[in-house]
Amino acid sequence: MRSFRLSLIAIGILASACAQAATADGPSVTIYRSDDASLFNNDAAPMDSGYAMVREPRSLDLKTGLQDVGLGGLPRFLDPEALSLHFANDAATVLSQRLQLVQGESAGLSYLVGRNIDVLGDGGNVLASGILRSARGGLELRQGDTTVLVHDYAAVRASGPIEYGARLDLRVDARRAGTARAQLGFVTAGLGWRASYIGTLAPGSACRMTLESRASVANRSGSDWRDADLTLVAGEPNLAKSDTPGPRAMAFSAKAARDMPEQSALADYRSFHLPAPVDLPDGSVSLLPLYATRTVSCERTALYENGNAYRPPMPMIQPGFDPGGQEQVTSTLAFDAFDSLPAGYLRMLSDDVHGTPQVIGEGRVEDTPKGGRVTLTLGNAFDLRVKRERTAFHVDREGRTMDEAFRLTLTNAGSEARVVTVREHPSRWRTWTLASSSQKPSNTTPDTLTFAVKVPANGKATLDYAVRYTWTSDVQPQ
């Protein structure tokens, strides 16, 4: 069969073949946080990532007794084992269900199975008419007692609406004829959310910032939801069939409420219930309010850190061990969470000399409980550099001691004096003491030495320090 276009003209449904699924009320959608960045990128194609639970009210026109009905327009990435339909007032019983995972043009044709169609040629002439029995490998039509197979055609014409995506075929036993209300529940991929924060530094020497908090909700499921009652779950529940390791539009939902979401505990996690219905169109990222904008205190630090908390299994007495560090000084920002902050990304802005906000860095915020510390690395400080060099090294095997000294030269090419936090990790052995230093450390832990070094504008400063390592007779140095 050659390529073709699917033309659906003046479409209307036949209830005996596929029951019309109509929502009496809006759906209820619970979306779990996703760390898959591809959900939020600039590609509108549906994708098998993210995790959401959906409950949709449906109405079906039934006849008395046993019958087959269908529900279409479902997301493409459903979990077949987490799908159910329950009728209100025991109006009918579901005897079996089958999920048809069809996509593309074949999805449109599959919804015409059991319906009267016209098959058109290139000139719009009718090649054949009848009830479509199958659309696999061509079109199989039933005309009374006759079967017609069509393989070469240009378009299909039918009456009634059509829905794309997955399709649920049901065999039900209805107690009585009429419209039956039901609730369809399923789990689907293609939906996910993460927090989106924007911080704007206030002018002046004190670190204060205006913090905007929003939920970034991605829908790449292949289906739309209108007037959805939305709940967002923050945290990391174990989802056995969750993420498989944007969109056309990014819009603030006009239907998102003026008030903030209701936050509450959900077992070991947090949930945010939106106070008004929200539209979630397919292929979109919606920005919804999470917390009211507020001003918070913060702390900015220029940090130079050498090494890490590595603990060797024996004293490292080789002279070439840890010969020096990089020159870069990183710019960090920290603040205390004013409430439970879901994981997401914080973009920091600061006004330039013309008063225009400019991005000065961004970083990831992990799930942080109220009062917890949020620390971000914004980037490398342009005007600050550090040169680190060893000035002394001596090992006394008989005395079981090792002495090492360093000099750090800090330069500042900026027009303002700066304080650089220097964090050193004595890492040759786990037992050490500070033998000497040109200035008193601001903090000492079992694996760190921290100094706050003042560096003048357009100038430099030096820091000298020495440590002594010791070990016992049962330890063999390397």
CA gap 414, 390 in Å, rounded: 27
Q: What is the pLDDT of residue 101?
A: 67
Q: What is the pLDDT of residue 16?
A: 28
DSSP letters for 70-92: EEEEE-SSEEEEEEEEEEGGG-E
Residue 138 backbone class (left: φ over 0; alpha: ψ -120 to 50; beta: rest): left
Structure tokens, 255: 């239907």
Strand partners, 218: 192, 285
SS3 state at 105:
helix
Per-residue tokens: 436? 């000497």
CA distance 446 to 166: 59
Task: Give yes or no for a contact between 86 and 182, defined as CB atoms under 8 angstroms apart.
Answer: yes
- Asked which of 10-24, 48-62, 452-466 is least confident by mean pLDDT, the reply is 10-24
For residue 182, what are the β-bridge partners?
A: 58, 87
pLDDT at residue 251, as a whole number: 34
Average pLDDT in the chain: 84
Start-to-end CA span in the chain (Å): 74
Please identify which residue in the block is written with the tokens 């009918």: 92
Q: Contact 79/178 with Cβ under 8 angstroms?
A: no
pLDDT band per the 50, 70, 90 thresholds, residue 162: low
Q: Which of 406, 409, 352 is nearest to 386 (CA)?
A: 409
How far apart, in whole angstroms, are the C-alpha atoms of residue 27 and residue 226? 8
- List strand residue ranges (DSSP E) for 189-274, in order: 191-201, 208-219, 225-234, 249-252, 262-266, 269-273
CA distances from 300 to 79, 339, 359, 382, 420 (A): 46, 21, 15, 15, 11
Confidence band of 62 (pLDDT split at 50, 70, 90): very high
DSSP 367: P
Which residues make beta-bridge pairs with 291? Answer: 213
Q: pLDDT digit string (tens) for 363-381?
A: 999 999 999 999 999 999 9
State the residue for tokens 């090792």: 402
Count CB-CB contacts under 10 A for residue 288: 23
CB 461 within 8 A of CB 455: yes
| pLDDT of the residue at 9 | 31
Mean pLDDT score, 64-69: 91
Domain span(s) for CATH 2.60.40.1180 in the chain: 303-327+380-470
How would you class 245 by CB atoms within 10 Å of its CB: exposed for 0-12, middle for 13-18, buried for 19 or more? exposed
Strand ranges (E), 103-207 = 116-120, 126-134, 139-143, 146-150, 155-158, 166-174, 178-188, 191-201
Q: Is 122 left (phi over 0), alpha (psi -120 to 50) or beta?
A: alpha
Token couple for 12: 């209307």
Stated pTM of the model:
0.73
Above 50 in pLDDT, residue 421? yes
Give the model's confidence band at 325: pLDDT under 50 very low, under 70 low, under 90 confident, else very high: low
Q: Which DSSP helix (H) or strand (E) runs through 435?
A: strand 432-437
Q: How far apart are CA 297 and CA 320, in angstroms?
A: 44
Residue 39: phi and psi, rounded to 5, are -60, -30
Homologous superfamily in CATH for domain 303-327+380-470: Golgi alpha-mannosidase II (2.60.40.1180)
> Does residue 274 have a pLDDT over 60?
yes
The pLDDT tens digits for 238-258 are: 775 544 333 333 333 333 334
Strand partners, 448: 445
Contact predicate 336/373, CB 8 Å: yes
Over the stretch 132-152, which tens digit does the pLDDT of each residue have? Answer: 888 777 899 999 889 999 988
Q: CB–CB of 129/118 below 8 Å?
A: yes
Residues in the chain: 478
162: left (phi over 0), alpha (psi -120 to 50) or beta: beta
**Tell me, what's the pLDDT at 70?**
81
